[in-house]
Amino acid sequence: MLVAVLGGGQLGRMLGLAGIPLGLRFRFLDPSPEAPAAAVGELVVGGFDDPGALEGVARGAEVVTYEFENVPGAPVRGLAERVPVLPPPGALEAAQDRLAEKRLFERLGIPVAPYAPVDGGADLPGAIEAVGLPAVLKTRRLGYDGKGQAVLRVAADAPRAWEAVGGAPSILEALVAFDRELSVLAVRGRDGEVRVYPPVENVHREGILRISRAPAPGLGGAIREAASSYAHRVLEDLGYVGLLAIELFEAGGVLLANEIAPRVHNSGHWTIEGAATSQFENHLRAVVGLPLGGTEARGHAAMVNLIGRVPDPSRLLAVPGAHLHLYGKAPR
Ligand code: AMP
């Protein structure tokens, strides 16, 4: 059975590594001929909006999925007329627009930080009034890993922030003095079965995930229940099939949703060795219509993201219980 994947980054590679034992074959679409997923499947080099490349990657595939959420919505909807695209394109579109995402959370009764839309520079003073300061201005589209964001501490920061987001349609969000960041990963099968992984504690630096601890240490029962309930609501509302991540802030015993990722997630790498079934395997089981696997943790796990120079593998692997996942991306 052939699975087509839009995006050939490390997440695609890890999907391939999880799917090969299930007898799945993979074909990836990526703009880069150096895409890390080429090691585990066929690679079509092309843009995500190139009709020929999309046709080429989907030909003969049982299902099309994606490992990168900024693939443009319209061509994906076109593909979905001919071959199942899972998670459904509506989930991709909701995650691509921060305003749509916030409204989705609100509609589902999931708390979010105070926010206001900023369509043009003239909206900014009113948004500051509504949201208060400090706040963070984020572009509605194409923002990830803290890019397309600017923090405002005083009203005089407004022009600089507006310039930093390139004058693009944005939202202004109250800066949350969170106690910690969490994420919850959950998977929904084609038959509607939902399984939720234990929430993870995440540490970001410069907008990039550095460390995850799973299950999140010292998590209160109410917070765990809320995370699971939010995941159920989002999965069911979107008619979702596959793995979904919700990034959350824990602040004073309250859980606020920040954003969703309609794909396997960096904060779920621990599930490869640390959970009954990895997020990658469960995503694939879901999209091809196989029964889901257990999501319980086998014990305690932590993930450290190695950025830039990779330390000597023989030293890393001398740590008892440590596993190394290199994916062959050139340092930038
Ligand atoms: P995002 O692109 O929304 O995931 O933001 C990247 C990171 O910036 C988050 O993981 C947080 O560490 C931080 N951040 C984003 N939004 C807020 C906020 N409203 N309050 C505090 N920190 C934030």
Mutate to test the pocket of ligand 1, among 149, 170, 258, 266 (most ligand atoms within 8 A of CB): 258
State in Å: Cα 159 to ligand 1 middle: 21
State in Å: Cα 270 to ligand 1 middle: 22
User: What length does the chain have?
Assistant: 332
Using the predicted structure, report yes or no on whether residue 145 has a pLDDT greater than 80. Answer: no
State in Å: Cα 115 to ligand 1 middle: 13
**Nearest CA owner, ligand 1 atom 19:** 175
> How far, in Å, CA of 160 to CA of 60, rounded?
50
State in Å: Cα 267 to ligand 1 middle: 15
pTM to 2 decimals?
0.96
Contact 227, 184 (CB under 8 A): yes
Using the predicted structure, report yes or no on whether residue 35 has a pLDDT greater than 80. Answer: yes
> How far, in Å, CA of 260 to CA of 278, rounded?
19
- Place 328 in a pLDDT band, splitting at 50, 70 and 90: confident
**Nearest CA owner, ligand 1 atom 7:** 207
**Nearest CA owner, ligand 1 atom 6:** 146
**Nearest CA owner, ligand 1 atom 1:** 146
State in Å: Cα 146 to ligand 1 middle: 7
In this prediction, residue 331 carries a pLDDT of 76
- Place 187 in a pLDDT band, splitting at 50, 70 and 90: very high
In this prediction, residue 312 carries a pLDDT of 94
> How far, in Å, CA of 332 to CA of 327, rounded?
14
Q: Helices marked H in 120-220 — which ranges?
A: 124-131, 158-164
For range 104-133, the mean pLDDT: 97
Question: What's the chain's average pLDDT?
Answer: 95
Q: What percent of the chain has pLDDT over 90?
A: 93
For the CA atoms of 101, 102, 106, 112, the dihedral, rounded to the nearest 10 degrees, stands at 130
> How far, in Å, CA of 215 to CA of 259, rounded?
20
State which ligand 1 atom lies nearest to the alpha carbon of 176.
20
End-to-end distance of the chain based on CA atoms, in angstroms? 36
**Nearest CA owner, ligand 1 atom 17:** 175
- Place 136 in a pLDDT band, splitting at 50, 70 and 90: very high
State which ligand 1 atom lies nearest to the alpha carbon of 144.
2
State in Å: Cα 137 to ligand 1 middle: 10
Residues lining ligand 1, CB < 6 A?
A: 113, 136, 143-144, 146, 173, 175-176, 181, 204, 207, 247, 258-259
In this prediction, residue 146 carries a pLDDT of 58
State in Å: Cα 251 to ligand 1 middle: 13
Using the predicted structure, report yes or no on whether residue 53 has a pLDDT greater than 60. Answer: yes
Question: Which tokens in the block code for residue 28?
Answer: 């990836």
Using the predicted structure, report yes or no on whether residue 274 has a pLDDT greater than 80. Answer: yes
State in Å: Cα 181 to ligand 1 middle: 9
Nearest to 230 by CA among 198, 191, 256, 250: 256
In this prediction, residue 144 carries a pLDDT of 53
State in Å: Cα 293 to ligand 1 middle: 31
For range 99-120, the mean pLDDT: 97
State in Å: Cα 175 to ligand 1 middle: 8
- Place 108 in a pLDDT band, splitting at 50, 70 and 90: very high
Q: What percent of the chain has pLDDT over 70?
A: 98
Contact 248, 241 (CB under 8 A): no
Contact 4, 57 (CB under 8 A): yes
| Partners of residue 275 on adjacent β-strands | 297
Nearest to 93 by CA among 63, 116, 72, 67: 72
State which ligand 1 atom lies nearest to the alpha carbon of 147.
2
In this prediction, residue 231 carries a pLDDT of 98
State which ligand 1 atom lies nearest to the alpha carbon of 258.
3
